[in-house]
Amino acid sequence: MASHSVLNIANFRAAFPAFSNATTYPDALLNLQYANAGTYISQNDSYDGLSGASLDFALQLLLCHLLFSYSLIANGQTNVIISGSTVADVSVSLEPPPSKTSWQWWLSSSPYGLQLLALLKVQSAGGWAIGGLPESQAFRKVGGIF
C-alpha cells in the first residue's frame, strides 16, 4: 500500500490556482494543512476505497476546503444560513443545516468540499466493506453458494 503523506506543492498550485499565491499560502501552511487533511481521510491507499490518483485528488480537495474555511474564519465570516433578522432588540434566526449529517454539511460549506463530497459518493457507489471475510464484499459466499 502506498502512502500519500507528502504534498507535491507545484502540482497543487497548478491544479488549484486560487491557492497559487506563495505569500498568502506559503509552503509551510500547505504542508501543515495537508497533514491535517490526513486526519479526516486516510493517506494510505485502500484496496476497496480511495487509492492512487483519486486519493491524491481527494486529499487535495480537502486541503482546499480547509484553506477556504480558514480564510473565511480569518475574515470574520461564518458558514451559516441566516433565515431572518430584526434590527430593534437585535434578533437573528439561523436555518439548520440542509444536510443529513454534519460531515455533509461541513463539506457543503465550500465549493471544494462539494467536489470532495461528490467524489466520495462516486468512489463508494458500490459500498465499502471494512474488514471481515470476502463474503462481505459479494452477494454470494465463497464457493458460489448463498
Query: The C-alpha cell of 117 is what?
Result: 463530497
pTM, entire model: 0.73
Query: The C-alpha cell of 13 is what?
Result: 498550485
What confidence score (pLDDT) does residue 105 get? 81
pLDDT tens digits in sequence order for the chain, 146 residues long? 577 778 999 999 999 999 999 999 999 999 999 999 988 888 877 766 777 888 889 999 999 999 999 888 888 877 666 667 677 777 777 666 666 777 888 888 888 998 999 888 887 665 555 455 555 555 556 665 65
| Residue-wise burial string across 27-54, b where 16 or more C-beta atoms lie within 10 A, e elsewhere | eeebeebbeebbeebbbeeeeebbbeeb
DSSP state of 58: H
Give the H/E segment covering residue 8. none
Please state, in angstroms and rounded to a whole number, the distance separating the CA atoms of residues 118 and 121: 5
Please state, in angstroms and rounded to a whole number, the distance separating the CA atoms of residues 96 and 50: 31
What confidence score (pLDDT) does residue 102 get? 79
One-letter amino acid identity for 118? A
What confidence score (pLDDT) does residue 120 get? 86
Query: The C-alpha cell of 114 is what?
Result: 462539494
What confidence score (pLDDT) does residue 33 get? 93
What confidence score (pLDDT) does residue 81 get? 63
What confidence score (pLDDT) does residue 109 get? 84
